[in-house]
Amino acid sequence: MPLRLIFMGTPDFAVPTLLELVAHGHDIMAVYTRAPKPAGRGMKLQATPVEQEARRLGIPVMTPTTLKTPEALEQFSAYDADAAVVVAFGMILPQAILDAPRSGCFNLHASLLPRWRGAAPINRAVMSGDAETGVMVMKMDAGLDTGDVAMAERLTITDRMTASDVHDALARLGADLMVRAMAALERGTLQLIKQGEAGVTYAAKIEKAEGKIDWSRPAHAVLRHIHGLSPFPGAWSEMPVDGETARLKILRCEPAGGTGSPGTLLDDQLTIACGDGAIRIVELQRAGKAPMKTAEFLRGTPLKAGARMQ
């Protein structure tokens, strides 16, 4: 028998899981997501990616501002769900909500717990130079990503991967993992294992102030910093362009040969010296402009060796 599920999610990352659950025949009683927010030039209200998919599929959508009221609990409980599936919902679930479905609430988390509990696990894994990350299905409790783990899938992080690349890969892996977890729950064979105490780290929310590139760091650390913040909020640096200081958001780079004073251009192809080694910029974006490849940028903005990034 298919499960009666409540789905709770908000961003693009959650959409593949919703679609896979529907494709595998589960009965999605309702989708809970964040309320529409003003976006774009006209600041019109924009429904979340999950809400857009749910409405396309004809699933009832709820956008509560809180789940802590008796009314919210009554409405949630009325769906008589076997379980709730939570993927980047963005709201704390009180204990009464966690306890409402017969089998509890199951979260898809984008890290290998207990490493990178918290808000920005993908960015932090890339920025910290981790060799791998993954997704885990966890039965939620009142703590911050502290629940018992049911299943996991691992993903190698290469130096070519940005946070966006890792995000997309984990979204696909996670959708498949959650479907398998719900199939095991349906059969009564889902096993839970307590998280270990060793290796706990917290993935703090990314602050805009973290975006400025420190060229005195080793080249690998600079590369991972750039890729971990790409495309949003973006790592950036300033340099003289056309007689003025321009802010450049660096979206993608690669290791390069050469040494020099940190922040110095080593050639006319945007190879930049770091504290140890160098990187070459592959893709970048000027303020107010669209992202572009380095070759395209240099056609309109020729640069010479010796210029300094700040």
Question: Is residue 168 located within the same domain as residue 212?
Answer: no
264-280 average pLDDT score? 96
Whether 197 shows a pLDDT value over 90: the answer reads: no
Give the C-alpha separation, 254 to 159, whole Å.
Answer: 8
Q: Contact, 169 vs 153, CB < 8 A?
A: no
CATH code at 270? 3.10.25.10
Domain that holds residue 264: 208-300
Q: Which of 165, 111, 171 is nearest to 135 (CA)?
A: 111
Question: Is residue 157 located within the same domain as residue 289?
Answer: no
Whether 305 shows a pLDDT value over 90: the answer reads: no
pLDDT tens digit string along 86-97? 999 999 999 999
Question: Is residue 42 located within the same domain as residue 117?
Answer: yes
Is omega for the bond preceding 114 within 30 degrees of 0, making it cis? yes
Question: Is residue 187 located within the same domain as residue 263?
Answer: no
Q: Contact, 30 vs 36, CB < 8 A?
A: no
pLDDT tens digit string along 95-120? 999 999 999 999 999 999 999 999 99
Give the C-alpha separation, 97 to 82, whole Å.
Answer: 13
Question: Is residue 236 located within the same domain as residue 260?
Answer: yes
The verdict on residue 310 lying in a domain is: no
Say what the pLDDT of residue 211 is.
97
Q: What is the DSSP letter of 24?
A: T
The verdict on residue 75 lying in a domain is: yes
Q: What is the mean pLDDT of the chain?
A: 95
246-265 average pLDDT score? 95
The verdict on residue 80 lying in a domain is: yes
The residue to which tokens 């595998």 are assigned: 24
Number of domains, the chain: 2
